Amino acid sequence: MSIWMAMLIGACIGVVLTTLILSNTRNGRVKAEYEQYIAELELEHQQALTSAQKRSVNTSRAVLKGKMAEQLAPIMPEFQYLPSDAKFLGDPVDYIVFDGYTDLRDGEGRAEDIEVVLIDIKSGGARLTKGQQAIAQAIREGRVRFETVRINFDD
């Protein structure tokens, strides 16, 4: 074998080895970059998950406080009506109050003094829902009536 042939084979082996080494180095760098990117994404995910859990707990607490406020409202000083005049509905409004009804029933009031009031209890920064706003609008516009429905069981 000639020296030139040995040098050519050596050069080819050198090129192949250099390519493999550089390829592995480049792959190692790309792999390291992606592993770092994945670690950053996992950290962001963990932070987002923790934040979502805190929001969920805070929202749950606010809802529970609101539900407690709804139930306890008639005995709170802010409630201007007799608890016996208030009837809990819960949805779409919390209470319907027949202001003056207890006095009428006990013989101390007059029918003309009775007022019907729909009340929704809110705590914190809670606002009326669209449905509650529509009900308030209907009342302001006088779209309220009383009906008697008779059920006949004699068939």
pLDDT at 155 (0 to 100): 64
For 33-67, how does the pLDDT look when each residue is reduced to its tens digit (9 = 90+)? 888 889 999 999 999 999 999 999 988 888 888 88
Non-local (6+) Cβ contacts of 93 within 8 A are 118, 119, 120, 132, 135
Token couple for 115:
């007022």
Q: Are strands 95-99 and 115-119 parallel, antiparallel or unpaired?
A: antiparallel
CA distance 149 to 155: 17
Spatial contact of 130 and 92, defined as CB atoms under 8 Å apart? no
**Spatial contact of 73 and 121, defined as CB atoms under 8 Å apart:** yes
User: Which residue type is seen at 19?
Assistant: T
pLDDT per residue over 89-105, tens digit each?
A: 988 999 999 999 999 99
Q: Quick one: pLDDT at residue 106?
A: 92
Task: Give pLDDT, residue 11.
Answer: 81
**Which residue blocks in 1-89 are alpha helix, DSSP H?**
3-72
| pLDDT of 29 above 80 | no
The pTM score is 0.60
Using CA atoms, how far apart are residues 117 and 134, in angstroms rounded to an integer? 15
**Collapsing DSSP states into helix, strand and coil, what is residue 86?**
strand
- The pLDDT of residue 101 is 94
pLDDT at res. 8: 80
Over residues 8-34, mean pLDDT: 78
pLDDT, tens digit, 9 for 90 and up, residues 116-128: 999 998 877 889 9
| Each residue's pLDDT tens digit, 62-86 | 888 888 888 888 888 889 999 999 9
